[in-house]
Amino acid sequence: MASFTKRNGNWRVRIRRTGYPSLTKSFQTKAQAIKWSQDMERRLGEGCTPTFPSEPFVHVSDVLKRYRERVTETKKGSSVESYRIRALERSWFGEIELKNLDSRHVADYRDQRLSEVTSGTVLKELGLLSVIINNAISEWGLRSLIGNNPVSGTNKPRAPRPRNRRLEDDELKKLLKACSSPFFRAVILFAIETGMRRGEILSLTWENVYLEKRYVHLPDTKNGDSRDVPLSPMALELLRELPRNIRGDQVVFPIHYEALKSAWGRACSKAGIIDQRFHDLRHEATSRFFEKGLIVMEVAAITGHKDLRMLQRYTHLRAEDLARKME
């Protein structure tokens, strides 16, 4: 049976049938996805086992592209991983021939990226690259071409200390004033009010919004479980003021991941805010939950943290707030 999902502007179709491997492919239009699924299901009905045609692997970008299209698109929250892989594909690293790839190239890429981004980002990129190469070796039979995984033999940068960046009151006012659109402003406030992840916010649809009962339902989250997120009065007001069905979309916030990232960078720059990331808003929200007096289990139910120890780093309560509680 075929299932269709629209993700990142593309239609992904997955076919599952007992006794056969799962088949997945992405298309630009739903009509293309339906046509392909009908052809595959017809071939399955005839007793054939459809397979994808073999593709030549010459450059690193060939492996990156195939992994992005065949593996990444099947994952939850694929937009961030897809964005990282596309950046690698377009860089000089993607132009390297697989037969020549070794740890020196990985080390050069690591050093270049360390001059551009944080060590935490570099660690994530190297981890993703290692997974992709291991997959190419074990699943696509490229050991004879690649040999051992060159990422494994490369020194990794030291992991950064956990962030505890909070927004000051004046920073929030400046940030909201610098927003380029009402939708972007609403996304920022909604993130602070709910503690939802960026991907959860951008994938939220109106069918999962329950204004009368004051919560939104997240059917598919990062940790694999569904979650109901309660709505504060401000979050409720934000949703009620948003227009619906612009361009026929069912998403609550019709903003693409890359557009949001660009808008965030411009707003922070315009507001003069340094070292503030969008994910810090989740940290801000979680800290505010604790400041309102919620206990750990209540906060975990809202944020979706399975490991309660993870919440310890979110409880960076302001000293002045604690002092007021001691009066």
The set of catalytic residues is: 197, 222, 279, 282, 305, 314
Cα distances (Å, whole numbers) of residue 180 to 236, 268, 284: 22, 11, 22
Which residues 6+ apart lie within 8 Å of 67 measured at CB?
Answer: 85, 132, 135, 136
Q: Are 25 and 66 a contacting pair, CB within 8 Å?
A: no
Cα distances (Å, whole numbers) of residue 253 to 29, 68, 265: 21, 25, 18
